[in-house]
């Protein structure tokens, strides 16, 4: 009788041990804390192909870009005396006027709701521009904030251009890629962009 109890005890202990050893093998597969990928999460079908959450994110971000970068362009036209800053502002106004028209058309076709106000961060950017004294300081703040924002979205646009299965989003990503690269180039031409700060993530 005591012999059977001991065996049971040992077997129970072994089972627990093996289970404890196996557990990290399971938890390791989820080691970065993210769920297993589900590319179809939130995807809906449209006549132009599947529309994913990432696709909708691009549409909203292109709209948001126009909502604060067009006013930013106007501020530079009114406040800066630099010819290259005004030229860049001209490109921002024309480029985002054009992209906004495209994104509103795409959003209407795909039934994606668009914001009509810049988000909080973007309103903060506009406030920083308002607060900067006219002259070199305004030009530096203006060009650096805009260059940073365009540089941040550029790889995201490229990723969507690669992976989208929606023909409308694909064309929007192409048009956005071309416009953003133009704006990056024009903003850099002002000579007011701090490249070290951008490379080190300090802006």
Site residues (CB under 8 A) for other proteins, limited to 127-156: 151-152, 154-156
The SS3 of residue 98 is helix
Counting residues that bind other proteins (by CB under 8 A) gives 88
Q: According to the binding rule CB under 8 A, does residue 90 interact with other proteins?
A: yes
Give yes or no for residue 71 binding other proteins (CB under 8 A): yes
Q: Segment near other proteins (CB under 8 A), from 1-9, 32-40, 120-128, 130-138?
A: 32-40
Q: Please report, for residues 84, 123, 129, the alpha-carbon distance to residue 78 in angstroms, rounded to integers and kept in the order given.
A: 14, 18, 12
Which letter, b or e, does each residue of 95-107 get, where b requires 16 or more Cβ atoms within 10 Å of its Cβ?
bbeebbebbeebb
10 binds other proteins (CB under 8 A): no
Binding of other proteins by 126 (CB under 8 A): no
Indicate whether 42 belongs to the interface with other proteins (CB under 8 A): yes
Q: Does residue number 67 form part of the binding site for other proteins (CB under 8 A)?
A: yes
State how far the Cα of 194 lies from the Cα of 198, in Å rounded to an integer: 7
Are 135 and 79 in contact by the 8 Å Cβ rule? The answer is: no
Nearer to other proteins, 137 or 195 (CB): 195
**Distances 44 to 41, 156, 170, 193 between C-alpha atoms, Å:** 9, 21, 16, 41
Q: Is 21 in the site for other proteins (CB under 8 A)?
A: yes
Smallest distance from the beta carbon of 26 to other proteins, in angstroms? 11
């Amino acid at each position: 009788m005591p012999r059977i109890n001991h065996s049971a005890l040992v077997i129970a202990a072994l089972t627990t041990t093996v289970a404890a050893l196996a557990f990290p093998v399971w938890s390791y597969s989820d080691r970065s804390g993210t769920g297993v990928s589900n590319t179809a999460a939130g995807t809906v079908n449209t006549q132009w192909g599947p529309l994913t959450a990432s696709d909708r994110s691009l549409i909203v971000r292109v709209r948001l870009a126009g909502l604060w970068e067009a006013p930013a362009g106007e501020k530079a036209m009114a406040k800066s005396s630099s010819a290259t800053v005004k030229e860049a502002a001209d490109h921002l106004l024309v480029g985002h006027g054009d992209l906004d028209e495209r994104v509103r058309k795409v959003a209407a076709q795909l039934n994606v709701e668009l914001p009509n106000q810049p988000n909080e961060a973007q309103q903060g950017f506009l406030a920083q521009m308002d607060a900067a004294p006219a002259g070199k300081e305004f030009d530096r703040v203006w060009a650096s904030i805009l260059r940073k924002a365009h540089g941040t979205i550029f790889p995201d646009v490229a990723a969507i251009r690669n992976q989208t299965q929606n023909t409308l989003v694909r064309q929007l990503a192409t048009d956005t890629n071309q416009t953003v690269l133009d704006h990056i180039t024009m903003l850099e031409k002002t000579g007011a962009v701090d490249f070290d700060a951008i490379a080190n993530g300090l802006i």
